[in-house]
Structure 1
Amino acid sequence: MTSPAPESNSILSLPDDLLMNCVARVSILYYPTLSLVSKSFRSLLASPDLYKTRSLLDRTESCPYVCLRLQSRENPSWFTLCRKPDQALTNMKKKPKPSGYVLAKVSIAHPPPLQSSSLVAVGSNIYNIGGSNPTSSSSLSKFDCMSHTWSEAPSSPVEMFTASAGVLDGKIYVVGSCEDEDSKSLKDTFEVFAYNPKEGKWHQVIMCDYTDSNAYCEIENVLYSVDKLFYGIEFKWYDTEVSRWRRMEGLVLPGTPTHHVRLANYGGKMAVLWEWEEEHLTYSWGGDKKKIWCAVITLERRKNRGIWGKVEWFDHVLTVPGTCALQKVLVATV
């Protein structure tokens, strides 16, 4: 029998540069699990140098972040998609093999209040337009998806109400009503401002109508949305050539969704998260709970036949209290 390997031969005994090079090659989907190994790993995974190494090695990935409000009066909780270790299944004939994806909670000290329509992701950061007051504010806060910390960013030049934000060409476009200086009431039109993260500056753009961006996403210059039907979730896309919405072919997700279905551009694919209440699911101390489901859909544009969707995988990724509300899904690049 051979003696156990000494501690000096463990992976943590490797030189820092070599260890960082190894971890940088691991998929970001395994980082939540790696953070549980030790304090040293948690520190390494929050290091900016690790993500610089990932960039140099061309290992950057799209990473979904999910914002949930577990209780109505609580600040939101954040989760990220991760891979769980492979597990053997005992009854494969009755149960399909799970995808292996789950939502892992992100530890964040003092997350700020927010409204879901004011959250956007650019690069490795998530921006919250609204700061401490989600209904009226000019402030801007930034969530670093590498270190999982919030910080303040330059404020908007104008106080905005009912703000909704989106991203185009790496710039953040914010639509919101503004107060009329003479009447002290809200203007009927909406101001549009663009924030350039690279410059750290705001720019006024145009006036336009307000729209909620929660249940929409843009992928390769095509706008997608969903219809919640009795028998499942149906997808549609906006055809700019004929100026109307069209049904996506070949795809309807099963289940009966509740109020919240959220879409996001997941590296050219579509990430879909939705709530699915099941009456028989109850906590041991009473009260309903529901499941959060996730699907990743590949998209194909066929000549003269519209856009077809194919489910790459879908699975139950988290069980939450019945009071939980799915707020937003954002995809950062880390």
Structure 2
Amino acid sequence: MSSEVAADDHPPEPPSLPEEVFLDCVVREPRTDYPILSLVSEKFRSLVTSPKVYKLRSLLGYKEHCLYVAISKNQTSTIRWYTLGRKPNNNLRLVPVPSLPPMPLHASYVVSGSSIYVMGGFHRWGLITPRVSRIDCVSHTVQPLPRMPKAVAGSVSKLVDRKIYVIGGSDTRSPKLKSFSKRIMVFDTEAKTWKVKRRPNWKVGQKWLSSVEMAGKIYMRSYSNSYVYEPKKGKCKLDPILHSKEWSNSCVIDDVLYYYDVRKNCLRAYDLKKRAWGVVKGVELGPFEDGSWSRTASYGRKLAVFLQKAVAVTETTEIWYAEVVVKRHQRGEIWGNVKWYGLVLDGKSCIMDCLAVKM
């Protein structure tokens, strides 16, 4: 009898919620909160990685950008992917994506839809690979694609009209990543086929330091010059005004190129139409020690600025992240508003690239 009474003292377990209710909760949350939701229960953990969530988000208009960051431990090891996620204390943090395998070092990356294309790189230091793969950012799976006609690392790879243009890159074992190739490789993302074109007559033996795509043109910088390449016309010209600043690891919003100058501690902007450089007012994220650098990505009217700070005392590095909203005022000045700024990863990590993927 006593056992029956004891049993009655324990309330019955609440019935499990239907999957539709779980889905409705998950799709309405920002994707940066998914790492927190995955801690709630096994049910939430499986849902936040389910393709159903992203299909429903798309139908309901809840698409948003997710930031992917390529990290190497010492600039000589393979790449591991991280995403920006929110912690229970509401701070942001770079969270590893365990289901994605290691990627080649000094590959080039191209975003198309909800996918990241990985082009070439060093499979092991000194061994260049012609492999191409596509990362499905919804399922975090990798699909192999037809290989490049020639193995290169450190190339410029940009998407124009559904075609990826692979320009330059090292085809030797030299770590200097200088390009002696006289070809441009073009990958059709729909037909999944390669074509080879002769490159314009720019100087060979250059290392590409940065590149962006603006208005169907590819802007590239080496140590000696900045170039503007028009894929449709097959023409290339120098841009000495663009080259007057040491722009690197840049991104574009509304035909304006942005990069963070860690030496001068300012966010610089190059107006494509005016062909003029300026400084974004209201943004200072330093100071920085020697050996620091920046990476930027754009999503909507926001800038994602990742700053790698060298810490001399501990001989380690810190990766900081700033979310900056930019706006042009009536006088033509561009102002920035820092919405969030903080440490997102520490230890001995090197940020090799950052990408914004909408899904």
- Bin the TM-score by the shorter chain: 0.7 to 0.9
Indicate how the Cα distance of structure 1 residues 5 and 292 shifts in structure 2: closer, same or farther if over 3 A, else same. Answer: farther
Matched residue count: 300
Equivalent residue letter for 1:37: V
Match of 2:311 in 1: 278
Q: Is 1:212 aligned with 2:209? A: yes
| 1:136/1:162 contact within 8 Å kept | no
The residue matched to 1:251 in structure 2 has which SS? coil
1:167 is aligned, of 143, 154, 159, to: 159
Correspondences of 1:78-89 after superposition (within 5 Å): 78-86=81-89
1:289 is aligned, of 316, 320, 331, to: 316
Indicate how the Cα distance of structure 1 residues 139 and 77 shifts in structure 2: closer, same or farther if over 3 A, else same. Answer: closer
Match of 1:92 in 2: none
| 2:133/2:145 contact within 8 Å kept | yes
Structure 1 unaligned regions, length at least 5: 87-98, 180-185, 283-287
Correspondences of 1:299-310 after superposition (within 5 Å): 299-310=326-337
2:148 is aligned, of 156, 160, 164, to: 156
- Cα distance in 1 between the residues matched to 2:209 and 2:311: 28
| 1:175/1:190 contact within 8 Å kept | no
1:327 CA displacement: 0.8
Equivalent residue letter for 1:332: V
1:265 is aligned, of 271, 274, 298, to: 298
Equivalent residue letter for 1:56: L
Of the two structures, which has the highest relative contact order with CA contacts closer than 8 Å and spacing of 6 or more? 1
Match of 2:230 in 1: none
1:255 is aligned, of 287, 290, 293, to: 287
Match of 1:55 in 2: 58
1:128 CA displacement: 0.8
1:20 CA displacement: 2.0
Match of 1:89 in 2: none
Match of 2:272 in 1: 240
Of the structure 1 ranges 149-158 and 129-138, higher mean CA displacement relative to structure 2 is found in 129-138
Match of 2:102 in 1: 111
- Cα distance in 2 between the residues matched to 1:177 and 1:67: 19
2:115 is aligned, of 99, 109, 125, to: 125
Match of 1:68 in 2: 71
- Cα distance in 2 between the residues matched to 1:300 and 1:4: 59
Match of 2:225 in 1: none
| 1:131/1:141 contact within 8 Å kept | no
Task: Describe the superposition over 1:62-89 as per-residue Cα deviations: whole angstroms up to 9, x where unpaired.
Answer: 0111111124553222211111223xxx
1:202 CA displacement: 4.1
Structure 2 unaligned regions, length at least 5: 1-8, 172-177, 211-247
1:320 CA displacement: 1.7
- Cα distance in 2 between the residues matched to 1:50 and 1:206: 44
- Cα distance in 2 between the residues matched to 1:7 and 1:195: 56
1:154 CA displacement: 2.8
Q: Alignment identity in percent?
A: 32
- Cα distance in 2 between the residues matched to 1:204 and 1:190: 10
Indicate how the Cα distance of structure 1 residues 219 and 242 shifts in structure 2: closer, same or farther if over 3 A, else same. Answer: closer
CA RMSD of aligned residues (A): 3.0
Indicate how the Cα distance of structure 1 residues 269 and 171 shifts in structure 2: closer, same or farther if over 3 A, else same. Answer: farther
- Cα distance in 2 between the residues matched to 1:242 and 1:269: 21
- Cα distance in 1 between the residues matched to 2:76 and 2:23: 40
Between Structure 1 and Structure 2, the one with more strand by share is 1
Equivalent residue letter for 1:278: V
The residue matched to 2:55 in structure 1 has which SS? helix
| 2:81/2:100 contact within 8 Å kept | no
Q: Is 1:329 aligned with 2:338? A: no
Match of 2:19 in 1: 16
Q: Is 1:138 aligned with 2:163? A: no
- Cα distance in 1 between the residues matched to 2:20 and 2:276: 54
Equivalent residue letter for 2:156: S
Match of 2:241 in 1: none
Q: Is 1:31 aligned with 2:34? A: yes
Indicate how the Cα distance of structure 1 residues 169 and 259 shifts in structure 2: closer, same or farther if over 3 A, else same. Answer: farther
1:242 CA displacement: 4.5
1:192 CA displacement: 3.4
